[in-house]
Each structure stands twice: as structure tokens, then as C-alpha cells.
A = this chain, B = another copy of it.
Amino acid sequence: MKFIEDGVCAAQGFTASGIHCGIRKNRDKRDLALIVSQKRAAAAAVYTQNLVKGAPLLVTKANIADGCASAILCNSGNANTCNADGEEVARKMCALAADALGIPARDVVVASTGVIGQRLDISPIAAGMEALVSGLSTDALPAAEAILTTDTKVKSAAVEFSLGGKTAHLGGIAKGSGMIHPNMATMLVFVTTDAAIAPGMLQKALSADVQTSFNRISVDGDTSTNDMCCVLANGMAGNAEITAEGEDYAAFCAALNAVTTALCRMIARDGEGATKLVECALTGAKTQEAADAVSKAVICSSLVKAAMFGSDANWGRVLCAIGYAGADVDVNKVDVYFRSAVGRICVCKGGAGVDFSEDEAKKVLLEDEVTIEVDLNEGNFSSVAWGCDLTYDYVKINGDYRT
């Protein structure tokens, strides 16, 4: 397996497009994306567990109930959530794309992201559909840009891998910067692959994957209403269709996880206002549940995040977060290290502080990628979680988002 370029267009038979149609006021920001598979593809998705669900999610769920889809249509600038006419508008979006592409409306996955609770006007989408479809190409960048909101960077990753003697490809794009605390799903992520895999196995692979990828990130503890991760697999790699667990399924899952983990790190690093990626690498837990709960609590703590912004080795806050994580942990066994590209420093052994050089710690923490290593010294389970620091700019971005 190796990382390659081209994101959602890396897999055979996929094209994409992204335009500014007018949902956003800023003409320099694309706001409508389309991803199309030449062949009808197996489709699987996971959705937010928030009880408030964006209307597009309900429509998508119904559309891919048969396990197949051919296209993904996504707008930014408006979440189409908490609107009385939300589902009607989402269905109209599917119909518009279907007409332009000559496919059934139920083969369209639809998604929206942006402000909650403002009606989404269908007219700019209708007016822009012709340009959107005519712009389809194997350049994945315009689509990757068109799904962004407060993101400052495009998030795209792809791999080439061997599958049943054939060369297969799997790539994805993501958006997400604030309201990031996925629960069984994530912000918007679209993955395409030319692997041949039955819809049931695709769903199984995706549902398992998000537990170790998107469910392990947090920017601000707020689980979005519009989280969705969707995979289309069109089978054009020519491998024997994966219909059960085994070597091919494992190869597919490894490729999927390589791309989703890369996207996770990009989302966390580009958290609203963030200056650095903060990773918690946890080892020595008695159970997987404990490992997951503790690592996530550490990267979610506002106080740990603010200390990371200040490059302050305030490890007491890490212990504090471990203590309230809700897991059965012997806090008198906990070791904590701070690590980055320039070094690794022990700050706590057996739950108590050790002498360390503040200057050296500062140097480690000033890097733009910092790992908080926590060893619970109680067992063999481990977990990784990704977050970011809490900065002035997070407050600035969210103090007046709508205007």
C-alpha cells in the first residue's frame, strides 16, 4: 500500500466537480460539490448520533437503503437543518443532480454543511447544476474545496493497494473544523474506491473503521447535526467481489483505515483556531473502553488544550482529565510523557510529578505536532485520540459565525 494523489478521483471511474453557485456570499468560495461514479457503486454510510439530524441525512439514508448509489451532491454555507422544508429541499437537490446526470434520484447521496436553522434556497443550486456537471473531471481539488466551511485547508488523501491480485485505489475528502466531536460518525467525509465489495461488507468495514478513526477526534466537544461519512465502491478495479471476511477484506480495511486516519489528523490539525495537532497515545489500559475513554478525555479537556496553546507543561491537567474520564483507573500508576519531533520528556511517574527541565519541556511543546503519552500500567489495551489546542482564534471564529 502506498499513498498517492487525487483524493476522491484516485479510484478508477470517479470524477468530481466543485463550483461557486451563490449559497455563500463570498464569490471566491466554492459552495457546491459533485462526485460521480461511472458505474453504479456499492454505498455505505454512517451518520451522526445527534438527535437533531440534518434533513440531507434522512434523505441519503432512504436513498442508499438498497446499498447502492452513483453520485454525491454536497453544498456548503447552509446545513439545511432545523428547517420545516428541509427534506423537501434535499429531495429537490437529488432530483436536480439526477436529471442532469441521467440517473435515478434515489442513486444520489446528498449532504449539506454550514449554518443551522436558515432555510436553504434551492434556486442557486438549480441555476448552477449545468456548470457543476460540465465541470466533472479527474481533478479532485474543486470538490474538496467546495465542501469546506471554516476549514483553512483542503483535506484529501488516497492510497493504492493490492487486492485479490489486482491494483485497487481508495481515496477520500473531508471537511470539518468546528463542532467536531463525532459519535459513531464524523463531519462530512466522502470516500471512493474502485474495489469490488458487497454493500453489506462495505458497511461493516466502514462501521468498524470509524471507531478507530473519526470517533477518536474532537475539536470542541460539540457533536454536529450533519456528520456523515459515506463510501462509494464501484468495483472497477476488477478484483473478485469481497463478500466475506478474509485476506481481501483485511486488505480493504487497512486501505480504508490509512485514508481515514490521515483525514482525522488533518481535521484535528485544522480545528478552528488551532495552532497545533495534539495526539494522546494511551497504553497500558485494562480494557479497550478504558483506553478509549481516557485518551479522548485528555484531548477534550479545555484546560489541557489551553495549556498546549501556551506550550505549558501543565501535566496536572492531564491527570485531572484522566481522573474524570469515567474509566476504572488506578491513578497512582499513571506515567505521562510529552513528545514531539524534537524530543520526549517524562513529567509524571506513578501519578506524581517528577523533576524535569521546564525549558526542555517548552521546546518539546512548541512544535506544531505534540503527543501526550499516557501509560496506565494496568493492562495491554491501547488507544489514540486526536485533537488540537484551544486558542484566541477559536473564540473569534465562533463568537460571530453567522454574520
Tell me the A residues contacting B by CB distance below 8 Å.
49-53, 79, 81-84, 115-119, 178-179, 181, 183, 220-225, 300-303, 306-307, 309-310, 312, 314-317, 319-324, 329, 331, 348, 351-353, 390-392, 394-403
On chain B, the residues within 8 Å of A301 by CB distance are 221-222
How distant is A347 from chain B, measured CB to nearest CB, in Å? 8
A interface: dominant SS: loop
Would you call A316 and B403 a contact (CB within 8 A)?
no
Would you call B400 and A392 a contact (CB within 8 A)?
no
21 contacting pairs across A/B (C-beta < 8 A): A50-B323, A79-B316, A82-B316, A82-B353, A116-B317, A116-B320, A117-B319, A117-B352, A118-B353, A119-B353, A183-B324, A221-B302, A222-B321, A222-B324, A225-B320, A306-B399, A309-B395, A310-B398, A314-B402, A390-B395, A392-B392
Would you call A117 and B353 a contact (CB within 8 A)?
yes
Question: Contact check: which of B181, B223, B310, B352 meets A399 at CB < 8 Å?
Answer: B310
Would you call B303 and A178 a contact (CB within 8 A)?
yes
Most buried by B among A115, A320, A329: A320
Question: Contact check: which of B49, B51, B82, B397 meets A329 at CB < 8 Å?
Answer: B51
Most buried by B among A79, A81, A398, A403: A398
A323 to B50, CA, bound (A): 5
Copies of this chain, how many? 2
On chain B, the residues within 8 Å of A306 by CB distance are 394-395, 397-399
On chain B, the residues within 8 Å of A302 by CB distance are 220-222, 302, 394, 398
Would you call B317 and A352 a contact (CB within 8 A)?
no
Given A116-B319, A225-B319, A348-B117, residue A324 in contact with residue B50 (CB < 8 A): yes
Would you call A116 and B316 a contact (CB within 8 A)?
yes
Smallest CB-CB separation from A86: which chain B residue?
A: B352
Would you call B303 and A352 a contact (CB within 8 A)?
no
On chain B, the residues within 8 Å of A49 by CB distance are 324
On chain B, the residues within 8 Å of A322 by CB distance are 51-52
Most buried by B among A50, A52, A307, A322: A52
Smallest CB-CB separation from A309: which chain B residue?
A: B399
A348 to B224, CA, bound (A): 18
A118 to B313, CA, bound (A): 12
